[in-house]
Amino acid sequence: MLGVLALGTVGCSVAPPTQFYQLQQPVADLASRDNNVTVLLGPLKIADYLQRENVVQREADGSLSLSQQARWAGSLQDDMGQFLLRQISAQLGSSRISLYPDRVGIEAQAQIVLSISRLDSGVNQSAVLEAQWRLLDAQGSLRNSRVVRFEEAHNGELSDQVRAQSDLLALLSQQLVRAIREEVPTETVKKKPSRSSPANSSDSATQGAIVPLKIPVVDPVREPGVYRF
Protein backbone atom coordinates (compact mmCIF):
# COMPACT_ATOMS: atom_id res chain seq x y z
CA MET A 1 0.00 0.00 0.00
CA LEU A 2 2.83 2.38 0.84
CA GLY A 3 4.47 1.54 -2.48
CA VAL A 4 1.29 2.43 -4.35
CA LEU A 5 1.03 5.73 -2.49
CA ALA A 6 4.64 6.56 -3.27
CA LEU A 7 4.12 5.91 -6.96
CA GLY A 8 1.01 8.06 -6.89
CA THR A 9 2.94 10.93 -5.34
CA VAL A 10 5.63 10.75 -8.02
CA GLY A 11 3.04 10.58 -10.76
CA CYS A 12 1.34 13.73 -9.52
CA SER A 13 4.51 15.81 -9.26
CA VAL A 14 4.50 18.85 -11.51
CA ALA A 15 7.61 19.74 -13.51
CA PRO A 16 8.70 23.38 -13.26
CA PRO A 17 7.68 25.48 -16.27
CA THR A 18 10.16 25.99 -19.08
CA GLN A 19 11.76 29.42 -19.24
CA PHE A 20 12.67 30.96 -22.60
CA TYR A 21 15.52 33.44 -23.05
CA GLN A 22 16.82 35.89 -25.65
CA LEU A 23 20.04 37.86 -25.76
CA GLN A 24 19.52 41.23 -24.08
CA GLN A 25 20.13 44.18 -26.38
CA PRO A 26 21.63 47.24 -24.67
CA VAL A 27 19.62 50.39 -25.24
CA ALA A 28 20.86 51.91 -28.51
CA ASP A 29 20.49 55.47 -29.78
CA LEU A 30 18.39 55.22 -32.92
CA ALA A 31 18.25 58.96 -33.55
CA SER A 32 21.34 59.25 -35.75
CA ARG A 33 21.59 56.99 -38.79
CA ASP A 34 23.11 59.41 -41.33
CA ASN A 35 26.39 57.59 -41.92
CA ASN A 36 26.63 55.98 -45.37
CA VAL A 37 29.21 53.30 -44.57
CA THR A 38 28.06 49.90 -45.86
CA VAL A 39 29.07 46.70 -44.04
CA LEU A 40 28.29 43.04 -44.69
CA LEU A 41 28.26 40.97 -41.49
CA GLY A 42 28.98 37.29 -42.09
CA PRO A 43 29.27 34.51 -42.74
CA LEU A 44 28.70 33.90 -39.04
CA LYS A 45 29.62 30.44 -37.75
CA ILE A 46 28.98 29.21 -34.22
CA ALA A 47 30.16 26.06 -32.45
CA ASP A 48 28.08 22.92 -32.93
CA TYR A 49 27.30 22.61 -29.22
CA LEU A 50 25.55 26.00 -29.31
CA GLN A 51 23.19 24.98 -32.10
CA ARG A 52 20.44 23.60 -29.86
CA GLU A 53 17.33 24.82 -28.07
CA ASN A 54 18.45 24.16 -24.50
CA VAL A 55 20.65 26.65 -22.70
CA VAL A 56 24.10 25.12 -22.22
CA GLN A 57 25.62 25.12 -18.73
CA ARG A 58 29.34 24.70 -18.08
CA GLU A 59 30.26 22.72 -14.99
CA ALA A 60 33.25 23.20 -12.68
CA ASP A 61 35.14 20.32 -14.33
CA GLY A 62 34.72 21.87 -17.79
CA SER A 63 31.97 19.50 -18.91
CA LEU A 64 28.75 20.76 -20.45
CA SER A 65 25.16 20.03 -19.51
CA LEU A 66 21.82 21.04 -20.99
CA SER A 67 19.33 22.89 -18.83
CA GLN A 68 15.97 21.12 -18.87
CA GLN A 69 14.02 24.19 -17.75
CA ALA A 70 15.78 26.89 -19.82
CA ARG A 71 15.66 27.21 -23.59
CA TRP A 72 16.49 29.82 -26.19
CA ALA A 73 13.47 31.51 -27.74
CA GLY A 74 14.46 30.64 -31.31
CA SER A 75 17.74 30.07 -33.08
CA LEU A 76 20.70 31.27 -31.01
CA GLN A 77 22.75 31.78 -34.19
CA ASP A 78 20.07 34.03 -35.68
CA ASP A 79 19.75 35.88 -32.38
CA MET A 80 23.53 36.47 -32.30
CA GLY A 81 23.50 37.76 -35.86
CA GLN A 82 20.68 40.22 -35.21
CA PHE A 83 22.29 41.31 -31.94
CA LEU A 84 25.62 42.12 -33.60
CA LEU A 85 23.93 43.78 -36.58
CA ARG A 86 21.98 46.18 -34.37
CA GLN A 87 24.98 46.97 -32.18
CA ILE A 88 27.26 47.66 -35.15
CA SER A 89 24.57 49.77 -36.81
CA ALA A 90 24.04 51.86 -33.67
CA GLN A 91 27.74 52.40 -33.00
CA LEU A 92 28.61 53.27 -36.61
CA GLY A 93 25.51 55.41 -37.03
CA SER A 94 24.66 53.58 -40.25
CA SER A 95 21.58 51.68 -41.37
CA ARG A 96 23.52 50.10 -44.23
CA ILE A 97 24.50 46.98 -42.31
CA SER A 98 23.42 43.66 -43.80
CA LEU A 99 23.54 40.16 -42.38
CA TYR A 100 24.89 37.43 -44.66
CA PRO A 101 23.46 35.89 -46.84
CA ASP A 102 20.92 38.73 -47.24
CA ARG A 103 23.10 40.89 -49.49
CA VAL A 104 20.64 41.91 -52.21
CA GLY A 105 21.64 45.34 -53.52
CA ILE A 106 24.62 45.55 -51.19
CA GLU A 107 27.92 46.99 -52.40
CA ALA A 108 29.83 46.69 -49.14
CA GLN A 109 32.86 48.73 -48.19
CA ALA A 110 33.81 46.15 -45.56
CA GLN A 111 32.93 42.57 -44.67
CA ILE A 112 33.25 40.81 -41.32
CA VAL A 113 33.76 37.04 -41.30
CA LEU A 114 33.08 35.76 -37.79
CA SER A 115 33.46 32.40 -36.04
CA ILE A 116 32.30 31.95 -32.44
CA SER A 117 33.78 28.82 -30.88
CA ARG A 118 32.50 29.38 -27.35
CA LEU A 119 29.75 31.32 -25.60
CA ASP A 120 28.59 29.77 -22.34
CA SER A 121 28.52 30.05 -18.57
CA GLY A 122 27.49 28.08 -15.48
CA VAL A 123 26.06 28.63 -12.04
CA ASN A 124 29.58 28.99 -10.65
CA GLN A 125 31.37 29.65 -13.94
CA SER A 126 31.84 33.09 -15.50
CA ALA A 127 30.44 33.78 -18.94
CA VAL A 128 33.14 33.30 -21.60
CA LEU A 129 33.18 34.28 -25.26
CA GLU A 130 35.87 32.96 -27.61
CA ALA A 131 35.83 34.00 -31.25
CA GLN A 132 37.87 34.79 -34.34
CA TRP A 133 37.05 37.55 -36.79
CA ARG A 134 38.45 38.75 -40.08
CA LEU A 135 37.88 42.13 -41.69
CA LEU A 136 37.92 42.35 -45.49
CA ASP A 137 38.00 45.55 -47.51
CA ALA A 138 35.96 46.42 -50.60
CA GLN A 139 38.32 44.41 -52.80
CA GLY A 140 38.02 41.31 -50.60
CA SER A 141 41.54 41.65 -49.21
CA LEU A 142 42.25 40.81 -45.57
CA ARG A 143 42.78 44.03 -43.61
CA ASN A 144 42.64 42.82 -40.02
CA SER A 145 42.18 39.60 -38.08
CA ARG A 146 42.03 38.70 -34.43
CA VAL A 147 41.40 35.80 -32.04
CA VAL A 148 39.64 37.08 -28.91
CA ARG A 149 38.51 35.88 -25.50
CA PHE A 150 36.23 37.87 -23.19
CA GLU A 151 34.99 36.97 -19.71
CA GLU A 152 32.16 38.41 -17.61
CA ALA A 153 30.99 37.66 -14.06
CA HIS A 154 27.35 37.06 -13.05
CA ASN A 155 25.34 36.13 -9.94
CA GLY A 156 24.55 32.54 -10.99
CA GLU A 157 20.92 33.08 -12.01
CA LEU A 158 20.15 32.07 -15.59
CA SER A 159 18.74 35.50 -16.38
CA ASP A 160 21.99 37.11 -15.24
CA GLN A 161 24.02 34.54 -17.17
CA VAL A 162 22.17 35.58 -20.33
CA ARG A 163 22.84 39.22 -19.43
CA ALA A 164 26.56 38.48 -19.06
CA GLN A 165 26.70 36.63 -22.39
CA SER A 166 24.93 39.56 -24.04
CA ASP A 167 27.48 41.97 -22.56
CA LEU A 168 30.29 39.87 -24.07
CA LEU A 169 28.74 40.10 -27.53
CA ALA A 170 28.41 43.86 -27.04
CA LEU A 171 32.15 44.02 -26.26
CA LEU A 172 32.84 42.07 -29.44
CA SER A 173 30.72 44.49 -31.48
CA GLN A 174 32.69 47.44 -30.07
CA GLN A 175 35.95 45.82 -31.15
CA LEU A 176 34.56 45.18 -34.63
CA VAL A 177 33.39 48.78 -34.97
CA ARG A 178 36.83 50.10 -34.02
CA ALA A 179 38.41 47.89 -36.68
CA ILE A 180 35.90 49.05 -39.31
CA ARG A 181 36.56 52.71 -38.50
CA GLU A 182 40.28 52.17 -39.00
CA GLU A 183 39.75 50.82 -42.52
CA VAL A 184 36.67 52.66 -43.84
CA PRO A 185 36.69 56.46 -44.34
CA THR A 186 34.75 58.20 -41.59
CA GLU A 187 33.59 61.12 -43.77
CA THR A 188 30.75 59.21 -45.37
CA VAL A 189 27.85 61.57 -44.77
CA LYS A 190 26.57 63.21 -47.94
CA LYS A 191 26.84 66.99 -47.79
CA LYS A 192 23.85 69.10 -48.81
CA PRO A 193 24.60 71.53 -51.68
CA SER A 194 24.91 75.16 -50.64
CA ARG A 195 22.15 77.44 -51.96
CA SER A 196 24.55 80.40 -52.17
CA SER A 197 26.87 78.66 -54.62
CA PRO A 198 24.84 76.50 -57.03
CA ALA A 199 27.79 76.22 -59.40
CA ASN A 200 29.75 74.25 -56.82
CA SER A 201 26.84 72.21 -55.52
CA SER A 202 27.60 69.16 -57.62
CA ASP A 203 31.26 69.21 -56.58
CA SER A 204 30.33 69.46 -52.90
CA ALA A 205 27.94 66.54 -53.15
CA THR A 206 30.55 64.48 -54.94
CA GLN A 207 33.20 65.20 -52.32
CA GLY A 208 30.86 64.26 -49.49
CA ALA A 209 29.70 60.97 -51.00
CA ILE A 210 31.44 57.64 -50.96
CA VAL A 211 31.57 55.80 -54.25
CA PRO A 212 30.54 52.21 -53.44
CA LEU A 213 32.90 49.46 -54.47
CA LYS A 214 31.59 46.02 -55.19
CA ILE A 215 32.98 43.56 -52.70
CA PRO A 216 33.66 39.94 -53.69
CA VAL A 217 31.67 38.30 -50.92
CA VAL A 218 33.40 35.45 -49.14
CA ASP A 219 31.20 32.38 -48.74
CA PRO A 220 31.64 30.03 -45.77
CA VAL A 221 34.05 27.14 -46.09
CA ARG A 222 33.15 23.96 -44.31
CA GLU A 223 36.01 23.10 -42.01
CA PRO A 224 36.15 20.60 -39.17
CA GLY A 225 36.02 22.47 -35.86
CA VAL A 226 37.74 21.48 -32.66
CA TYR A 227 36.03 22.63 -29.49
CA ARG A 228 37.19 22.34 -25.89
CA PHE A 229 34.70 20.94 -23.42
The CATH number that applies at residue 54 is: 3.40.50.10610
Q: What's the pLDDT tens digit per position in 52-108?
A: 999 999 999 999 999 988 999 999 999 999 999 999 999 999 999 999 988 777 789
Report pLDDT for 84: 97
Number of domains in the chain: 1
Domain range for 161 is: 38-190
Average pLDDT over residues 25-32: 66
> pLDDT band at residue 16, thresholds of 50, 70 and 90?
confident
Whether residue 215 lies inside any domain: the answer is no
For the chain, report the end-to-end CA distance as a whole number of angstroms.
47
CA dihedral 199, 205, 207, 208 (to 10 degrees): 150
CB atoms within 10 A of CB 51: 10
The SS3 call for residue 167 is helix
Q: What's the pLDDT tens digit per position in 114-170?
A: 999 999 999 999 999 999 999 999 999 999 999 999 999 999 999 999 999 999 999
What is the model's pTM? Answer: 0.75
Amino acid found at 74: G
- Which residue did the predictor score with more confidence, 208 or 115? 115
Whether residue 209 lies inside any domain: the answer is no
Whether residue 81 lies inside any domain: the answer is yes
